[in-house]
Structure 1
Amino acid sequence: MSSENEDRSNEDPSDETVWDVVVVGAGPAGASAAYAAAVTGRRVLLLEKAELPRYKTCGGGIIGPSRDALPPGFELPLRDRVHAVTFSLNGKLARTRRSKQTLFGLINRPEFDQALVESAQQAGAVLRTGATVSRVEQHGSSVPDRRTVAVVLSDDEVVLARSVVGADGSASRIGAHVGVKLDQVDLGLEAEIPVPATVAEDWAGRVLIDWGPMPGSYGWVFPKGDSLTVGVISARGEGGATKRYLEDFIARLGLAGFEPSISSGHLTRCRADDSPLSRGRVMVCGDAAGLLEPWTREGISFALRSGRLAGEWAVRVAEAHDAVDARRQALNYAFAIKAGLGVEMGVGRRMLAIFERRPGVVHAVLTGFRPAWNAFAKITRGTTTLAEIVRTYPAARRALGALDRPKQAPRAEPELEPQKP
């Protein structure tokens, strides 16, 4: 790292006239974009409305693709390493599958996000917290020339940039400017529950995934030392049912007697296939772009990977001398996203459609068919992706096609007593 970049991380943002790249939002996507742009030696400003560290509603699972997208030398602040997964079908038919190798890691988002921001600062990015962005302007009196974007803060201060990356979450103001379109919105509810050492020991190294009572819903328990992250997710519009599912889920697990330290909720949003990823010199990534896996709603790996790409292409946009070249570079960013993450999202949508109609079949396959479990383990470790499996193995492609057909007459299933996970 150059001494110039090290000195730049301590500069007063007000001393700068026009930044090469301004990144809005300091979550995993924004911090990754800021890092990717800053390591090239460009002048990068990272804006965050909150003070860091701050809590984010998130399970905190770090799968292989997330790990592989981290900055070189980044040390994950892991709270646990997962070697076993218990699957259940709305509290029934619980079965635990184990692995000798670590499947994935678990983190607390405040620690993880803070460490990512520090990596971006070490690369040369300047962090400014307490800065709420109200809008961006690419034309008008605030914009001195066609190569500049005006980022307008809530107090009407104007920050100028050659390119802007929007990573300001699922309710993104930058996404609204770009015109991001959504085709799936889900509600996630979560509780951080401190537990005694005896309970924590029972969960150490093991997570629970419970396929829920509403179509497409599921719950999870992620252990993190002396606390458990317990959450559920389902389609938006099922708020009351989702809340009841979480309450029943916690009670069924025997955790109702422990007071949560945090209870929170958030909406996850998936982009439509034809949704734009840029407008002029402004690009979006992560949740702001609606990039996440539609079935599991896993978003950290999508945030890290899309943020890195956005930061790299933002540098090229900043260097563009006219609108045509800027547009070309932004389209290259969109192509890179669609060729990678877009393909994964397409398969994820098909899996969600299958899961919504046939959760029992999905449960039976994962718990009773070893190749399916092995595929799950490889995906979580990052040695393959669901899209790669479908593309590579004809049998997987045929099975996905067969399950994706409309369900015929439903079968009555025997009522079973809930099993303790």
Structure 2
Amino acid sequence: MQDTDANQVWDVVVVGAGPAGATAARYAALGGARVLLLDKATFPRYKTCGGGIIGQSRHRMNEHALATIEADVPEVGFSHRMGRVTRVRTGAPFVAMVDRERFDQANVDAAKEAGAEFRDGANVRSLADEDGHTRLTLSDGDELLARVVIGADGSGGRVGRHVGVRIERADLGLEVEVPRRPEDATTGVLLDWGPRPGTYAWVFPKEKTLTVGVIERKGYGEQTRSYLDAWIKRLDLHPTEQDRSSGHLTQWRASDSPLRRGTVVLAGETAGLLEPWTREGISFALRSGEWAGIAAAAHTNGDVAALDRYEAQVQAELVPEITVGEKLLRIFTRFPGAFHFLISKTPMGRSYFIRFCRGETTLVRAFRRRWVQVVAGWLQ
């Protein structure tokens, strides 16, 4: 137990030290707040994640995190139901790769450098409102008081349940990391649109490993596992018991889900901030974490509207991306072959995919075009 003074008041306590939480802690500390960052795991720790970094993420990464980039990839291969691969290559890389263990540790290091205190192996057992503050009780019996709490403790996290987050859908991602072989030296990203509605698989090349995974709606564990096994066989890979193998739930919020309860706010995956079609969440974590940290520091400095502005910013900038992603997922679920053809075979589709990955455009911008709205409405 590192702190036995239950009446000590922290300006900001951040629960969860993934990209959203560590970013929030960093920005809150930079804003002058006294910040404690907690995580129930012992760092460094591994997390199931492809580790793909698109432009929206890269633009917001601190120097420590940027130093963890292991590959800049100029090529992606697409297949449908593990069929023939169509490769799209550009002159300049459009997506980067990180190992989540190093990436998450780098973000924690940046938060500590900004002045936040970090405590790993600290599991929050309960939260309670107390005279305008929040009392957090840890599993070891330690108690903390906070003026603002930022919940970034992942899908199904304690803080999300305290706020009352409501989830539209949860998916199961399964993943294995295998050593990169000499013949994999030029491997780009591989994406397979899967055999069942809304599924897809990936290969993301790292410096020494290949991250191989699949994702499918929660509730179909056996067939999701079968898809991963078939994908590994299709790639002629041979994972061993020594290779990392893990699973993780990803989730996105219902449209009426709260982002806040009093001075407890949510960021990243805990808030269900995720793009539903690609299931990309790192850019949402970094953006919401930054805004939540800035708002929390401002609130502790007497800006009573700061947390309201955080909610408004998420609603204005991130929720529309989730809404469009849901529309795309519904269409993709019905017409995966058409999506495969559009993205891999047409110049317009290839160009848009690359520009999206580079952060030069967004899904929301595409849906503002009249013809896209007409086609999407007809297909849904």
Please give the range of the TM-score, normalised by the shorter of the 2 chains. Answer: over 0.9
Residue 54 (structure 2) aligns with: 63
Instruction: Report the counterpart of residue 373 of structure 1 in structure 2.
Output: 350
Change (3 A) 1:257 1:301: closer
Indicate the residue corresponding to 1:217 in structure 2: 199
1:176-195 map, 5 Å: 176-195=161-180
CA distance in 2, matches of 1:69, 1:356: 31
Distance 2:228 2:242 in 1: 13
User: Which residue does the alignment assign to 1:399?
Assistant: 375
Give the letter for the 2:10 counterpart: W
Quick check: 1:298 aligned with 2:280? Answer: yes
- Contact persistence 1:90–1:212 (CA under 8 A): yes
Q: Which residue of 1 aligns with 2:320?
A: 343
Whether the 8 Å CA contact 2:33–2:300 is kept in 1: the answer is no
**Mean Cα displacement is larger for which, 40-49 or 52-61?**
40-49
Output the amino acid matched with 1:398. V
Moved more, 301-310 or 73-82: 73-82
Deviation per CA, 1:155-181: give whole Å up to 9, x if none: 221111110000001121000000000
Partner Cα separation in structure 1 for residue 242 and residue 365 of structure 2: 39
Q: Which whole-Å CA distance do the structure 1 matches of 2:138 and 2:302 have between them?
A: 25
Long gaps (5+) in structure 2: none
Aligned partner of 1:163 in structure 2 is 148
Identity, % of aligned positions: 47
TM score, norm. by length of structure 2: 0.95
How far 1:195 moved relative to its partner? 3.3
User: For residues 73 and 49 of structure 1, what CA distance do their matches in structure 2 show?
Assistant: 22
Counterpart-to-counterpart distance in 2, 1:94 and 1:119: 40
Q: Match of 1:100?
A: 91
For 2:229, the aligned partner's letter is E
C-alpha distance in 2 between matches for 1:337 and 1:271: 12
SS at match of 2:185: helix
Question: For 1:309-368, what per-residue CA distance to the aligned partner results, in whole angstroms no more than 9, with x for missing partners?
Answer: 1111112333459xxx4xx44332111101111010010000000010000000010111
Structure 2 vs 1, CA of residues 23 and 150 (structure 1 numbering), >3 Å: closer, same or farther?
same
Q: How many residues align?
A: 378
Shift of 1:401: 2.7
Shift of the alpha carbon at 1:22? Answer: 0.5
Structure 1 residue 13 displacement after superposition: 5.7
| Contact in 2 for aligned 1:200/1:227 (Cα 8 Å) | no
Q: What SS is found at the alignment partner of 1:276?
A: coil
SS in 2 for 1:92: coil
CA deviation map 1:196-228 (0-9, x unaligned): 2x232141xx11000001110000001112211
Mapped to 1, the partners of 2:310 and 2:222 lie a distance apart of 40
The C-alpha deviation readout for 1:251-297, integer Å capped at 9, x for no partner, is 01111366661110011111101000000110011111111111111
Which amino acid letter does the alignment assign opposite residue 367 of structure 1?
S
Which consecutive residues of structure 1, in runs of 5 or more, have no partner in the other structure? Answer: 1-11, 405-421
* Residue 200 (structure 1) aligns with: 184
Out of 126, 130, 145, which is 1:135 matched to? 126
- Residue 259 (structure 2) aligns with: 277
Amino acid at match of 1:154: S
